[in-house]
Amino acid sequence: MGICAGESICKFHKEIGSNGAMAPSQRTESEPTMQRLYDRIWLLAAAALLFFALSYVAWGWIDVFSVPMG
């Protein structure tokens, strides 16, 4: 007897893979956009850096323009 107890479990194990993630070819087209972003770690990191960079730039502009003239 192998690592799987039954045929249905073995089929599930083959579809999912040893690391628990489905292969890209097995993913459905109806995945939400945020799920696709979370699955791509480097894209998520770039999005986070872009968000924080834009936040700090906007915060800086607000801070500079809120200083009274004179």
For the chain, what are the domain ranges? Answer: 32-70
CA 14 from centroid of its chain's CA atoms: 24
Give φ, ψ of 28 to 5 degrees.
-85, 160
The alpha-helical segments, DSSP class H, found in the chain are 7-16, 33-39, 41-65
Question: Average model confidence (pLDDT) for the chain?
Answer: 79
Between vectors from CA 31 to CA 26 and to CA 32, what angle results, nearest 5°?
Answer: 160
Reported pTM: 0.47
Residue 63 has pLDDT above 60, yes or no: yes
Say which residue, 35 or 29, is predicted with more confidence.
Answer: 35
How far is CA 41 from each of CA 24, 30, 51, 55, rounded to the nearest angstrom?
14, 20, 15, 21
